[in-house]
Amino acid sequence: MSEKLTDIFGMYVFNDSVMKERLPRDTYMKLKEIMDNRGELTIEIANIVADAMKDWAVEKGATHYTHWFQPMTGITAEKHDSFIEPAEDGKVLMEFSGKELIKGEPDASSFPNGGLRETFEARGYTAWDCTSPAFLRENAAGLTLCIPTAFVSYKGEALDKKTPLLRSMQAVSNQALRILRLFGDTETKHVDVSVGVEQEYFIVDRKNYKRREDLIMTGRTLFGAPAPKGQELDDHYFGTLKERIAVYMQDLNRALWKLGIYAKTQHNEVAPAQHELAPIYESANVATDHNQLVMDAMKKEAKRHGLKCLLAEKPFKGVNGSGKHDNWSLVTDKGVNLIKPGSNPDKNPQFLLFLAAILEAVDTYPEILRLSASNPGNDHRLGAQEAPPAIISVFLGDQLEDVVEQIISKGEAKSSLHAEKLLTGVSSLPTINKDATDRNRTSPFAFTGNKFEFRMVGASASVAEANTYLNTMVAEILQKYADELEKSENFDEDVKKVIYRALTEHQRIIFNGNGYSEEWVKEAERRGLPNLRAMVDAIGTLADEKSVKLFEHQGVLSEAEIRSRVEIGYENYAKIINIEAKTMIDMASKLYIPGVARYVKVIADSINSVRTACPAADVSAQEEILLNCSTLLARAQKALDDLKTADAKAISIADKEECAKFFKEDVCARMEALRAPIDELEVLVEKAYWPVPAYSDLMFDI
């Protein structure tokens, strides 16, 4: 490889060093202040930045720019304009003004808005988010300057995922600062949310993918019998990479490094054909943008390598699904991680107060945290193989659980457990210091040493909601504590009381056991923890009185914005299940049923021929196949008709909530009923007559 990592890293990013080099010093300083929420962006500054950005982009070969935004579709959107302006003599100039940098006006009527706008009020604005760096995106046609933006309506209502995220980051920073001031910190000006997103994905061969209409239309298999070998041998997890995958990952890393994304860790995951990529954590907003670029690059590089990247939460029934671990912490502008316990958490009241706030927040608002990880695909993943259930609980680990127990039983903690040395029994191996706590992979929300890891989010989803909701709920509780403690006359004692009260009242949310077990489902019910199994059960909780109060109080979402998001949620769910149902109908009618019918005829013909040739021959095997296949075929045809009827009824329901719920209850059940006989047929019918690649082809043929 000729290019060095250090040479290519960030080459497509208008980053701090480029700005320092290309902007006049005072403009650079002012822009930095604006990025820290400490200054107003004027048109003069925007003009200077736009000009420098354009020169940089054009020197690299870009001809177009786009405002890059994240509408409620969950993916990104862009509209491209070229830099050209007419000049004299029929020539062109390359121009980019401050106005074009800071404001865009996409014709927004076709994006989901959940009733926030009538079609005739199509105006929507994109506004430059200077806290996430502009970058150049490469495709076969060249480079485009992409400007991360927020997307809002004419009235300023959020039509995207970024605006509420930015609001929530501000809210949690403001409240965390108040707490820090109470502990005597006069220096910190800003508290940032750090997020590291581990991304799981599957890779299949493109030639197999192209023969699966379900993968093409919906991203997941809607039919498919289990392969003879699944993940039972655990031989794929952390296994040696296949050559093709290794080359793919290398190119993927390079594409991400050019975009200034710190792609760091890569390995095979639990299921065959499943992999993971983890970048180093960054500010929540940038990490969220970067995760979108990671997903995008994964798909694009796969195509270049004759592969297909599947980001669906459950592409294959019966094997591990893909999620996205959202690692979250609060870090001051001085680099102090507020979620780090230090070696003696019992003597760290500031840490304990933040910990108490997080526990109280998660226990008070578990429904919306659950909602933040809801999409139709995740309904198949949560609670299934190797994924946390839909019940929210927090894993603290031995050390913190011990401290929490001391506080609850004695009012305060006097000691902390310490990590031991790891004894291997082999003198030539190094002595390793163990972590204070083992891991618990079954917990949806786990403390992992200096951060919390929210493991519920689906692989294809944006992490914007998860972080927005988490920031908001933690801000709310911190605000409550700050209100109370700012009035205190004996701070040291009152802090202890607040911690004691929070831990005592919210201890039910702590669970260190096996989250995958049936007993936990029962135990959680006994504790009164909600178990919202499906997305449709969770959507409406956003508009509960409790949630509306929370989001309005923190200035993150208005009631109108909430209602629009609820509507979009139901609508999205219904649309996706409808596409899945229609795809199943299509595949069953045009592929499976005719394919099996042809096979049945071949068997029937062969029975007749054998009988004619040799009347004494035993044809009982052929007859059994014929009988079984015909019976299953008839069942499939009946299930197909039922599904068609249910789907037609579902789409005729006007009320969005009712429609989504009908899809969940009725259409999904009929989809399962159609899948069952066809999956049974797959193991009976001769492979040459089976119309699509099998699970074994998809997962092992790389």
Q: Interface residues with Mg ion (CB under 5 A)?
A: 198, 325
Tell me whether residue 230 or residue 321 sits nearer to ligand ADP (CB atom). 321
Q: Whose CA is closest to 388, among 446, 447, 430?
A: 446
When binding is defined by CB under 6 A, the residue of 451, 506, 565, 644 that contacts ligand ADP is 451
Tell me whether residue 327 or residue 399 sits nearer to ligand ADP (CB atom). 327
Spatial distance between the Cα atoms of 241 and 613, rounded to a whole number of angstroms: 54
**199 forms part of the interface with ligand ADP (CB under 6 A):** no
CB of 371 to ligand ADP, least distance (A): 22
Tell me whether residue 308 or residue 325 sits nearer to Mg ion (CB atom). 325
Tell me whether residue 325 or residue 380 sits nearer to ligand ADP (CB atom). 325
* Minimal CB distance residue for Mg ion: 325
Distances (CA, A) of 647 to 575, 581, 635, 636, 644: 11, 7, 18, 16, 5
Could you tell me which residues come within 8 angstroms of residue 436 by beta carbon, excluding any fewer than 6 positions away?
Answer: 397, 398, 399, 416, 417, 418, 419, 449
CB of 185 to ligand ADP, least distance (A): 19
CB of 200 to ligand ADP, least distance (A): 12
Scan for tokens 């163990």, then name that residue. 434
CB of 451 to ligand ADP, least distance (A): 4
**614 forms part of the interface with ligand ADP (CB under 6 A):** no
Phi, psi at 560, each rounded to 5° = -65, -40
CB of 262 to ligand ADP, least distance (A): 8
Collapse the DSSP code of 162 into the 3-class scheme (helix H, G, I; strand E, B; otherwise coil) and give the result. Answer: helix
**329 forms part of the interface with ligand ADP (CB under 6 A):** yes
Could you tell me which residues come within 8 angstroms of residue 613 by beta carbon, excluding any fewer than 6 positions away?
Answer: none
**443 forms part of the interface with ligand ADP (CB under 6 A):** no
When binding is defined by CB under 6 A, the residue of 266, 283, 450, 628 that contacts ligand ADP is 450
CB count within 10 Å of CB 463 equals 27
Q: 120 with 154: CB under 8 angstroms?
A: no
CB of 254 to Mg ion, least distance (A): 24
- Residue 290 contact, options Mg ion, ligand ADP, none, Cβ 5-8 Å cut-off depending on partner type: none
Site stretch for ligand ADP (CB under 6 A), options 175-183, 204-212, 322-330, 469-477 = 322-330
When binding is defined by CB under 6 A, the residue of 163, 173, 448, 460 that contacts ligand ADP is 448
DSSP 655: S
Tell me whether residue 20 or residue 264 sits nearer to ligand ADP (CB atom). 264
CB of 383 to ligand ADP, least distance (A): 21
**126 forms part of the interface with ligand ADP (CB under 6 A):** no
219: left (phi over 0), alpha (psi -120 to 50) or beta: left
Tell me whether residue 151 or residue 454 sits nearer to ligand ADP (CB atom). 454
Distances (CA, A) of 599 to 354, 608, 678: 65, 14, 14
Tell me whether residue 45 or residue 278 sits nearer to ligand ADP (CB atom). 278
C-alpha dihedral over 419, 421, 424, 425, to 10 degrees?
-140
- Residue 278 contact, options ligand ADP, Mg ion, none, Cβ 5-8 Å cut-off depending on partner type: ligand ADP
Collapse the DSSP code of 70 into the 3-class scheme (helix H, G, I; strand E, B; otherwise coil) and give the result. Answer: coil
Tell me whether residue 329 or residue 564 sits nearer to ligand ADP (CB atom). 329
When binding is defined by CB under 6 A, the residue of 136, 166, 278, 482 that contacts ligand ADP is 278
Tell me whether residue 283 or residue 558 sits nearer to ligand ADP (CB atom). 283
Site stretch for ligand ADP (CB under 6 A), options 188-196, 219-227, 310-318, 674-682 = 188-196
Tell me whether residue 265 or residue 424 sits nearer to Mg ion (CB atom). 265
Could you tell me which residues come within 8 angstroms of residue 186 by beta carbon, excluding any fewer than 6 positions away?
Answer: none
Q: 669 with 649: CB under 8 angstroms?
A: no
| DSSP output for 540-603 | GGGGSHHHHHHHHHTTS--HHHHHHHHHHHHHHHHHHHHHHHHHHHHHIIIIIHHHHHHHHHHH
- Residue 281 contact, options ligand ADP, Mg ion, none, Cβ 5-8 Å cut-off depending on partner type: ligand ADP
When binding is defined by CB under 6 A, the residue of 194, 416, 437, 467 that contacts ligand ADP is 194
Residue 395 forms beta bridges with which residues?
A: 446
CB of 376 to Mg ion, least distance (A): 24
Q: Outline where DSSP puts E strands in 4-141.
A: 64-69, 77-82, 84-86, 92-94, 103-104, 124-128, 135-139
- Residue 450 contact, options Mg ion, ligand ADP, none, Cβ 5-8 Å cut-off depending on partner type: ligand ADP
* Minimal CB distance residue for ligand ADP: 196
Tell me whether residue 267 or residue 497 sits nearer to Mg ion (CB atom). 267
- Residue 73 contact, options Mg ion, ligand ADP, none, Cβ 5-8 Å cut-off depending on partner type: none
**198 forms part of the interface with ligand ADP (CB under 6 A):** yes
Q: Whose CA is closest to 626, among 641, 613, 611?
A: 611
Spatial distance between the Cα atoms of 557 and 575, rounded to a whole number of angstroms: 25
Spatial distance between the Cα atoms of 213 and 223, rounded to a whole number of angstroms: 10
Pull the structure tokens for residue 111: 């994006």
When binding is defined by CB under 6 A, the residue of 65, 83, 281, 520 that contacts ligand ADP is 281
How remote is the C-alpha of 511 from its chain's centroid?
Answer: 24
Size of the site for ligand ADP (CB under 6 A): 15
Tell me whether residue 447 or residue 695 sits nearer to ligand ADP (CB atom). 447
Spatial distance between the Cα atoms of 182 and 178, rounded to a whole number of angstroms: 6
- Residue 195 contact, options ligand ADP, Mg ion, none, Cβ 5-8 Å cut-off depending on partner type: ligand ADP
**196 forms part of the interface with ligand ADP (CB under 6 A):** yes
Residue 453 forms beta bridges with which residues?
A: 327, 446
Tell me whether residue 198 or residue 561 sits nearer to Mg ion (CB atom). 198
When binding is defined by CB under 6 A, the residue of 147, 195, 478, 557 that contacts ligand ADP is 195
Spatial distance between the Cα atoms of 585 and 202, rounded to a whole number of angstroms: 25
Q: Which residues bind ligand ADP (CB under 6 A)?
A: 194-196, 198, 278-281, 327-329, 337, 448, 450-451
